[in-house]
Chain A
Amino acid sequence: MRILTWSIDQILQEVSNLENEVKNFKQELYKICWFMRGSISLREAYLMSSEDREIISNIVKENIETTKKSGLPFF
């Protein structure tokens, strides 16, 4: 509600920031789904908490590292 005390310019700036944040956030969710190769649906990703997403992102990172080290094809 503090946003109501801001100037129009500040509000418009915040709106733009929020729109970008949402876009980045959605990208993070789509990435999780893509890297988990279908084992997590988009619907499930939207229901995940921040902690769960962090754990999965770490698993994805580990898998990428393992693939690099083992030389197995990733894509």
Chain B
Amino acid sequence: MSENPLKSYFRQPKIYINLPSKLKYYPAGTIEVTDTGEFPVYPMTATDEIAMKTPDALLNGQATIDVIQSCIPNIKNAWYMPNLDLDAVLIAIRIATYGDKMDIETVVPKIGEERSFSVDLRQILDNLLGNEFEEIIEIDNLIVHIRPMTYQEFTKNALKTFEEQRLFTLVNNEDIPEEEKLERFNNSFRKLTELTVGMVSDSITKIQAGDESVTDPDHIQEFLRNADKKFYTEIVKHIEEQKEKFSIKPLTVETYPEDREKGAPDSYEVPIVFDQSNFFV
């Protein structure tokens, strides 16, 4: 096909970003690497914005995938994107579409009054880029290699957890006999536990014990089920710490003198959360 003469009128990239994962963990063919290592980010189109307002597509993750692939075309299959790139990618799309300032509504502690302030998204993006994912943890002579979850795994697990938690709440129905309630409760609880163990074992790519290396997922899962609590807890702690590194830190806000006079503290922390109300302008 010949080149479209209207190409120069297509939307232009608004910003260029590096990815926190430094392109590790992307399977071959899922990302098109650039010479500079930076990726162009285009603003959302009206179609993208509508996709992000479609409830079913939002729940199953398809809306996020479509928008990421539309706005960062170098990402060819965002389902395989490591989850640690997700926040950075969404912030970059938000900046490209609406600019680098985002208004946050907050309630001042102790006085309960609402305040609004502006957040610099570029600063938040820069903070996410400076982190390193630590793949190796040593526990009792065992060297454990971990990897971040892909967006697909993250979505699948979140949906499964959601379904189980829904069942869990249904058990509290007064019409259900106590015995059946207990059985359903135990079933849900078991499934939720299996889900958590599954997530942890999926995150482990290799366990080295002396000269022996184990990479078989079934062997790793069997080991995890039979390992002592300390081992499991340390792995979970390490995974959580890595996740925390790539999450957006709460912002410390200094209160106005007039609010302090009313009893507000000198400063307080505000979580920076992206949702439907503030992602779109």
CA distance A1 to B159 in the complex (A): 9
A49 touches which of B11, B50, B53, B273 (Cβ 8 Å): B11
Instruction: Decide yes or no whether B132 CB sits under 8 A from chain A.
Output: no
Which one, A3, A19, A25, contacts B46 given CB within 8 A? A25
Asked if A9 is at the interface (CB within 8 A of a chain B CB), the reply is no
Q: Is there an interface contact between A47 and B43, defined as CB atoms closer than 8 Å?
A: no
Q: In the docked arrangement, what's the CA distance between A53 and B155, Å?
A: 32
In the complex where A2-B273, A4-B162, A14-B276 touch, is A49 in contact with B45 (Cβ < 8 A)? yes
By beta carbon, the residue of chain A nearest B273 is: A2
A54 → chain B, closest Cβ, in Å?
A: 10
Which of A26, A29, A50 has the most B CB atoms < 10 Å from its CB? A50
Q: Which residues of A contact B158 (CB under 8 A)?
A: 1, 4
* A residues in contact with B186, CB < 8 Å: none
Residue numbers in B under 8 Å from A49 (CB-CB)? 11, 42-45, 97
Q: Which of B32-64 contact A (CB under 8 A)?
A: 42-47, 49-50, 53-55, 58-59, 61
- The reply to whether the CB of A59 lies closer than 8 angstroms to some CB of chain B is no
Chain B residues in 8 Å Cβ range of A45 = 46
Produce 1/0 per residue, A14-53, CB < 8 A to B: 1101110110011001000000000000000111111111
With both chains docked as a complex, state the minimum distance between the C-beta of B51 and any C-beta of chain A, in angstroms. 10
User: What is the number of residues of chain A that contact chain B, defined by CB distance less than 8 Å?
Assistant: 23
Q: A46 touching B273 by the CB < 8 A rule?
A: no
Contacts of B28 in A (CB 8 A): none
What is the number of contacts between chain A and chain B, taking CB atoms within 8 Å? 60
Task: Report the Cα distance A4→B158, complex, angstroms.
Answer: 8
Residues of chain B within 8 A (CB-CB) of A50 are 43-44, 49, 97-98, 281
Q: Which residues of B contact A29 (CB under 8 A)?
A: 46
Whole-angstrom CA separation of A13 from B273 in the bound complex: 20
> With a CB–CB cut-off of 8 A, which chain B residues contact A19?
55
Q: Are A47 and B47 in contact, with the CB atoms below 8 A?
A: yes
Taking the nearest CB of chain B, how far is it from the CB of A44, in angstroms? 9
Expressed in whole angstroms, the Cα–Cα distance for A35 and B54 within the complex equals 27
Alpha-carbon distance between A49 and B44 when the two chains are bound, in angstroms = 6
- Assess the B47–A22 pair: CB atoms within 8 A: no
With beta carbons under 8 angstroms apart, the residue of B49, B161, B275 that contacts A25 is B49
Report Cα–Cα, A17/B54, bound state, in Å.
10
- Whether A18 contacts B43 by the Cβ 8 Å rule is no
Would you list which residues of chain B between 1 and 22 have a CB under 8 Å from chain A? 11
CB neighbours (8 Å) of B46 from chain A are: 25, 29, 45-48, 53
Question: CA of A46 to CA of B46 in the docked complex: distance in angstroms?
Answer: 5
19 more contacts with CB within 8 A, not counting A22-B50, A25-B46, are A1-B158, A3-B59, A4-B161, A14-B55, A18-B53, A18-B54, A18-B55, A18-B58, A18-B276, A19-B55, A22-B53, A25-B49, A25-B53, A29-B46, A47-B11, A47-B47, A51-B43, A51-B97, A52-B11
Give me the interface of A with B, judged by CB distance under 8 Å.
1-4, 14-15, 17-19, 21-22, 25-26, 29, 45-53
Report 10 cross-chain contacts, Cβ distance below 8 Å, ordered by A residue.
A3-B59, A4-B59, A25-B50, A45-B46, A46-B45, A46-B46, A49-B11, A50-B44, A50-B49, A50-B281
